[in-house]
Amino acid sequence: MKGDYQDLVDEISALLGVPATLENRDFRLIAFGAHDSDDDLVMDPVRTRSILTRQSTAAVRAWFEGFGIARATGPVRIPAAPDAGVFRGRICLPVRYRGIVQGYVWLLDQDPGPGPDVLAAAMEVAERIGILLAEEAQAGADLSREFRGVLTAGRGWQQDMAVAALRMALGAGADGLHAVVCVTPWAGEAPASVPGTAAVCTVPWPGAGDDDGVAAGAGTDGNSGPASGAGARSASGSASGSGARSGSRAGAKSGSRSGPAAGAGPVSGPGAEAGPDRRTGQALAVLVRLRSAEVLVPAEGVATRLLAQGGATAGIAEPRRGLTALADAWSQASAAAQAAAAQPRFGPVARWSAIGPYRMLASLAAAGPVGDPATRVLLEPAHRELARTAELFLDCAGQAGRAAAALGIHRQTLYYRLGRVEQLTGLDLDEGEDRLLLHMALKTARLYG
């Protein structure tokens, strides 16, 4: 298909004797004609950027659309505008199919410009381009529908039918190697086309909270200073509190490691900062073709480009061959995107293979709510600071000195807070299983908050 576009663009270039470029209606470059001019004006900044980045900026798009090209049925002459980076005037040939604009052919104007007969011949070629673009758009819409069907169908025969429909739509490429990418949150429709991808669609992004309060208060405001009253283990937070026992014991084992844990800093912990609303709206799903399971650069490039158009984070699933496991791959990509939002250290684009414990937490959550009654109260907004303290303490492997330094508090204050955590939850932070339960609850709240 791309070769067909290039041939038609070259035909227009030959008709008019000037280089031509073809863009879709979103101003994304599809093909461009070669030129052998030494005139710097031929490669003005707008044309150069369009070729190098394969797209135009929103400002350039708005400026050209101001000349009515989206409504025009014939050639439109656009004057030069050096202030806008347009050193040479343009001739725009709208590419339409059944009255609907599909794209634009751009020509550099000259003096004298092409006559009406030559422009009419060029418009006939543009009509042939319009047919191809419309057919490709329809094929893309079909792929989008079938891809969405695979990701949202239930298990069993519904999934089998959806996979069969997508396999038919993809044709020979269905059994190739692919990676699923999730970009979230995504507003509006899916892009008409994404270079380097097999299919793209939007998918509903359901709520992640549950009745057990896993995410309760995880992203809300709230303060919890050191509590006072009869509930405290001791007024000074000394060794009479279990937090002091945990801290002293951990400190004795901390000789091999020092410094704050990776990703564990003053802003770490459930609710420490408000991220994007990952509980409502929709996400963008992308099926990216790969040549090697070890090289995910194409998927990362697609995710990065899409984040520039919308969304806050992206996740990439493990590569899969064929289509039967796409639903599982989507779960991986979604979890990776959520982990990227929960832990900035993963970056705006996170691979499933790199999100560590969040892989297991996501798998557990897929089977149903993973909250625990013992930790529910700690995840309420009023105890936000205590939850943050407990998470960072556990991230630091129970090493009180590292945790206190990362939090910017005195060690005795840390012990006091940990004592309050034990009172609220009924857990004993000297016990490994209790620590594990609390750590899982806090990480789940971060992931799905």
- Residue 236 belongs to a domain: no
CB-based contacts of 281: which residues, under 8 Å, 6+ apart? Answer: 185, 186, 187, 205
Distance CA 408, CA 406 (A): 6
Q: Which sign, positive or negative, has the C-alpha torsion 365, 150, 142, 302?
A: positive
CB 406 within 8 A of CB 261: yes
Residues of the chain with pLDDT under 70: 1-3, 33-57, 84-86, 138-140, 206-280, 366-371, 449
In the chain, the number of structural domains is: 3
CB 387 within 8 A of CB 445: yes
CA 364 to chain centroid: 23
CB 54 within 8 A of CB 28: yes
User: According to the model, what pLDDT value does residue 300 have?
Assistant: 93
**Within this chain, do residues 333 and 422 fall inside the same structural domain, yes or no?**
no
**Within this chain, do residues 268 and 281 fall inside the same structural domain, yes or no?**
no
User: According to the model, what pLDDT value does residue 226 have?
Assistant: 32
Kind and range of the H or E run holding 102: strand 100-108
User: According to the model, what pLDDT value does residue 221 have?
Assistant: 31
Q: What is the pTM of this model?
A: 0.57
- Residue 87 belongs to a domain: yes
Instruction: List the 20-24 sheet strands across, edge first.
Output: 29-32, 20-24, 100-108, 90-97, 76-78
- Residue 196 belongs to a domain: yes
Kind and range of the H or E run holding 298: helix 297-307
Distance CA 285, CA 190 (A): 9
Domain boundary among 331, 360, 389: 360
- Residue 109 belongs to a domain: yes
Residue 145 corresponds to which tokens in the numbers above? 């529908």
**Within this chain, do residues 266 and 404 fall inside the same structural domain, yes or no?**
yes
List strand residue ranges (DSSP E) for 233-330, in order: 282-290, 313-316, 320-321
CB 149 within 8 A of CB 204: no
**Within this chain, do residues 109 and 7 fall inside the same structural domain, yes or no?**
yes
Distance CA 124, CA 158 (A): 45
Full residue range of the structural domain in which residue 246 is found:
242-272+369-448
Distance CA 299, CA 304 (A): 9
Say if strands 100-108 and 20-24 run parallel, antiparallel, or are unpaired.
Answer: antiparallel
CB atoms within 10 A of CB 402: 23
Distances (CA, A) of 296 to 235, 301, 312, 341: 55, 9, 20, 20
**Within this chain, do residues 90 and 193 fall inside the same structural domain, yes or no?**
no
Distance CA 341, CA 335 (A): 10
Cis? peptide before 112, omega within 30° of 0: yes
**Within this chain, do residues 333 and 279 fall inside the same structural domain, yes or no?**
yes
CB 358 within 8 A of CB 444: no
Strand, coil or helix: 73 = coil
60-116 pLDDT, tens digit per residue, is 788 888 899 999 999 999 887 777 666 778 899 999 988 888 899 998 887 777 888
**Within this chain, do residues 320 and 345 fall inside the same structural domain, yes or no?**
yes
CB atoms within 10 A of CB 186: 22
The upper half-sphere exposure of residue 67, i.e. CA atoms within 13 Å in the direction of its Cβ, equals 20
Kind and range of the H or E run holding 11: helix 2-16
- Residue 313 belongs to a domain: yes
Cis? peptide before 185, omega within 30° of 0: yes
Of the candidates 387, 402, 148, which has an alpha carbon nearest to the alpha carbon of residue 264? 402
- Residue 221 belongs to a domain: no
DSSP state of 260: P
- Residue 306 belongs to a domain: yes
Distance CA 76, CA 69 (A): 7
User: According to the model, what pLDDT value does residue 417 have?
Assistant: 92
CA 270 to chain centroid: 21
Distances (CA, A) of 68 to 12, 78, 92, 435: 22, 10, 10, 65
CATH of the domain at 15: 3.30.450.40
CB atoms within 10 A of CB 447: 26
Domain boundary among 316, 342, 360: 360
Q: Which sign, positive or negative, has the C-alpha torsion 433, 437, 439, 443?
A: positive
**Within this chain, do residues 199 and 348 fall inside the same structural domain, yes or no?**
yes
**Within this chain, do residues 395 and 291 fall inside the same structural domain, yes or no?**
no
CB-based contacts of 264: which residues, under 8 Å, 6+ apart? Answer: 392, 395, 396, 403, 406
| Residue-by-residue DSSP string for 86-150 | B-S-EEEEEEEETTEEEEEEEEE--SS---HHHHHHHHHHHHHHHHHHHHHHHHHHHHHHHHHHH
User: According to the model, what pLDDT value does residue 419 have?
Assistant: 92
- Residue 293 belongs to a domain: yes
CATH of the domain at 435: 1.10.10
Distance CA 320, CA 178 (A): 5
Domain boundary among 294, 329, 360: 360
CA 63 to chain centroid: 29
**Within this chain, do residues 259 and 355 fall inside the same structural domain, yes or no?**
no
User: According to the model, what pLDDT value does residue 25 have?
Assistant: 83
**Within this chain, do residues 263 and 308 fall inside the same structural domain, yes or no?**
no
Of the candidates 374, 379, 385, which has an alpha carbon nearest to the alpha carbon of residue 226? 385
**Within this chain, do residues 379 and 257 fall inside the same structural domain, yes or no?**
yes
CB 18 within 8 A of CB 9: no
User: According to the model, what pLDDT value does residue 436 have?
Assistant: 85
